Amino acid sequence: MEASRPNLYLVGFAGTGKSTVGRLVARELGYALLDSDHEIEQAQGRTITQIFAEAGEPAFREMERAFIDGGHPAEGCVVACGGGLVIPPGMLERVQARGVVICLHASIEAVLERTGRATHRPLLQGDDREQRLRTLYAAREPVYRRTGTMILTDARPMREIVAHVLRVYREEQREWARRHR
């Protein structure tokens, strides 16, 4: 049987390194890299900030669902998912049905620092960012923990993180092939 190339979905909170890790892992695997935020922006012809302001968060979550359900190739991709994509009920299961899911994790301090200058995350904008971030993270953590493998991206060399993600992916890829034979 030809080796199957199930998609790898990188999930986790904003600022945990999904895009950077995704790019390097995709290169190692010879897969395409997709970023759900970017794909949605392209499809909509407007930025995430505009979508939140004009259509609201529920509409954005619906766009994320449509992207997962049919908006991207079924295999051979590393998909860096927006931080809230797996959070609405049923979404994690939908993503898990499409490929291998790995959650990246970082301390609140690292997330605060990494997201400090960016302006494209409407949920993390405004006063008292730290409190907002802590509240949002606490609400989401149970879902992130259910994803299966969580990989820490704090204070570790990038090549180590990439090797860890690749190791987990290859283990789960075999399991995936068995289940989807």
Q: What are residue 77's DSSP bridge partners? A: 32
- Interactions with ligand S3P, residue window 4-33 (CB under 6 A): 14
Total of residues contacting ligand S3P (CB under 6 A): 9
User: How many Å apart are CA 43 and CA 111, to the nearest integer?
Assistant: 28
User: How many Å apart are CA 15 and CA 26, to the nearest integer?
Assistant: 19
Sequence letter at residue 6: P
Nearer to ligand S3P, 150 or 177 (CB): 150
User: How many Å apart are CA 40 and CA 49, to the nearest integer?
Assistant: 12
- 102 and 11 Cβ atoms separated by less than 8 Å: yes
Nearer to ligand S3P, 5 or 121 (CB): 121
Q: Which residues neighbour 134 within 8 Å (Cβ) at sequence distance 6 or greater?
A: 108
Nearer to ligand S3P, 63 or 173 (CB): 63
Q: Is 80 helix (H, G, I), strand (E, B) or coil?
A: strand
User: How many Å apart are CA 44 and CA 65, to the nearest integer?
Assistant: 14
Q: Counting contacts by CB under 6 A, is residue 82 touching ligand S3P?
A: yes
Of 21, 48, 79, 102, the one binding ligand S3P (CB under 6 A) is 48
Nearer to ligand S3P, 48 or 162 (CB): 48
- Tell me how far, at minimum, the Cβ of 122 lies from ligand S3P, in Å: 6
Q: Counting contacts by CB under 6 A, is residue 71 touching ligand S3P?
A: no
Of 6, 17, 22, 83, the one binding ligand S3P (CB under 6 A) is 83
- Tell me how far, at minimum, the Cβ of 2 lies from ligand S3P, in Å: 32
- Tell me how far, at minimum, the Cβ of 81 lies from ligand S3P, in Å: 7
Structure tokens at 20: 């950077």
**Sites of contact with ligand S3P (CB under 6 A):** 14, 37, 48, 82-84, 121-123
